């Protein structure tokens, strides 16, 4: 029996749901469905990440990386919501979100706690107990593959951080060199292209090798379990 009853997958996705999906979803709900201003929508959508950040600091004595990053992004948006007048400056300010997220991800890599792992792990582990155990051995340093696995884990986040910073620079350059009417829709294209590049590059550079290492670690763990009864009988 390699799979949990369903709670493992939910537990793996919970950080993304609470710290990313809920704040972003509530922002668009408040802004588009309820007709709130950008400032009000950002403020109300910051409640959950703010509570999660404070709870992590008080209860767990550690900052919740995803919640803190979304909170910082919202605060930057709140500050920039006061910027008005120059249409090119209004377009350029959108790059602040990408740069904030990108810098936050790169800082997490530098600290040895790559932030994008929370989004990648569920797709590799798939709620399977054997893969979850193998993952823990790999990230804890208990496996011979741990060093390479951790290196690839950091590379995955680094690719996303650098790509988002590049997208930020492209937006700023475009805001002041491309006609405003064109840049209004081209900014979205920049983001889509950046995400597509990040998916492809991080997939080949990190996800695929990590998936193979994870599978090998599962096999090693199962082989070890099969040997133990034989050893016990021989003894």
- pLDDT per residue as tens digits for the range 14-69: 555 565 666 666 776 776 677 777 667 767 777 777 776 676 666 656 555 566 66
Whether the CB-CB separation of 135 and 121 falls below 8 Å is answered with yes
Output phi, psi for 3, to 5 deg: -115, 150
pLDDT digits (tens, 9 = 90+) for 164-203: 899 889 988 988 898 877 876 787 788 788 888 998 999 9
Q: What is the pLDDT, as a whole number, of residue 60?
A: 59
**pLDDT at position 10 over 90:** no
Can you name the residues that pair with 3 across neighbouring β-strands? Answer: 128
Whether the CB-CB separation of 194 and 167 falls below 8 Å is answered with yes
| pLDDT, greater one: 154 or 90 | 154
**pLDDT at position 9 over 60:** no
Q: What is the pLDDT, as a whole number, of residue 120?
A: 85
Tokens 């550079």 correspond to 205
**pLDDT at position 229 over 80:** no
Q: What is the pLDDT, as a whole number, of residue 57?
A: 61
Within 10 Å of residue 228's Cβ, how many Cβ atoms? 9
CA gap 230, 184 in Å, rounded: 68
**pLDDT at position 160 over 80:** yes
Q: Where are the alpha helices (DSSP H) in the chain?
A: 7-16, 22-28, 38-45, 47-59, 65-80, 87-93, 95-110, 117-125, 129-140, 146-177, 180-202, 208-234
Banded pLDDT at 146 (limits 50, 70, 90): very high
Say which DSSP state 35 is in: -
| pLDDT, greater one: 3 or 61 | 61
CA angle 219, 220, 223 (to 5 degrees): 85
Average predicted confidence (pLDDT) for the chain: 76
Banded pLDDT at 223 (limits 50, 70, 90): confident
Within 10 Å of residue 77's Cβ, how many Cβ atoms? 22
**What does the pLDDT average to over 81-102?**
68
Flag whether the pTM goes above 0.75.
no
CA gap 37, 167 in Å, rounded: 26
């Amino acid at each position: 029996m390699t799979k949990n009853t369903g709670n493992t997958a939910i537990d793996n996705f919970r950080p993304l749901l609470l710290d990313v999906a809920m704040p972003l979803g509530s922002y668009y709900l408040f802004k588009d469905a309820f007709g709130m201003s950008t400032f009000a929508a950002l403020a109300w959508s910051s409640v959950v990440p703010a509570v999660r950040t404070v709870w992590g600091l008080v209860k767990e004595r550690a900052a919740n990386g995803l919640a803190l990053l979304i909170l910082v992004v919202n605060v930057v948006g709140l500050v920039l919501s006061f910027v008005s007048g120059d249409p090119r400056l209004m377009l350029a300010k959108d790059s602040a979100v990408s740069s904030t997220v990108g810098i936050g991800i790169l800082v997490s890599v530098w600290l040895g706690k790559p932030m994008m792992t929370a989004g990648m792990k569920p797709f590799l582990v798939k709620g399977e107990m054997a893969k979850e155990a193998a993952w823990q051995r790999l990230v804890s340093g208990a496996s011979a593959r741990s060093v390479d696995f951790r290196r690839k884990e950091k590379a995955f986040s680094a690719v996303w951080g650098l790509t988002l910073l590049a997208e930020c620079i492209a937006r700023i350059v475009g805001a002041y060199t491309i006609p405003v009417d064109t840049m209004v829709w081209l900014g979205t294209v920049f983001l889509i292209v950046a995400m597509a590049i990040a998916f492809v590059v991080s997939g080949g550079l990190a996800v695929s090798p990590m998936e193979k290492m994870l599978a090998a670690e599962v096999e090693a763990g199962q082989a070890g379990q099969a040997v133990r009864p034989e050893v016990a009988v021989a003894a």
